[in-house]
Amino acid sequence: MVFLPDEARSLPPPSLLNTSSVWLGLTGWFAALLDNGFNHRPVIRAGVHRQILFTTVGWVAGYYLSKRMEYMHAKVDRELFEYVRHHPEDFKTAGM
């Protein structure tokens, strides 16, 4: 998969209730409300199934974006620790 490489499977999964999921879920719900408003339908009461669908799609997209973000941060950390391990002369401790 292009979005998440196989090495990302070794990381623990993010929480289902994370900020990316919440924000994108709310964005999806708001998009459904805007769609109702632009099409001159009752904003809250019309298309409840569409509101649920958009919220769910936003929530899932936020979850996978959170997984991708955690993978990218772990990758940068791994590269940084690898650099420090190979160049200890650049990172001497104060006690030495």
3-class DSSP state for residue 27? helix
Residue 67 to residue 55: CA distance in whole angstroms: 18
Q: Report the number of distinct structural domains present in the chain.
A: 1
User: Is 72 within a domain?
Assistant: yes
User: Is 94 within a domain?
Assistant: no
Q: What pLDDT is recorded for position 96?
A: 55
Tens digits of per-residue pLDDT, 83-94? 999 998 888 887
Structural domain including 46 reads 17-85
Angle between helices 48-86 and 19-38 (to 10 degrees): 150
User: Is 73 within a domain?
Assistant: yes
Task: Tell me the pLDDT band of 95, cut-offs 50, 70 and 90.
Answer: low
Tens digits of per-residue pLDDT, 17-76? 999 999 999 999 999 999 999 999 999 999 999 999 999 999 999 999 999 999 999 999
φ/ψ (deg, to 5) at 6: -65, -30
H or E stretch covering 17? none
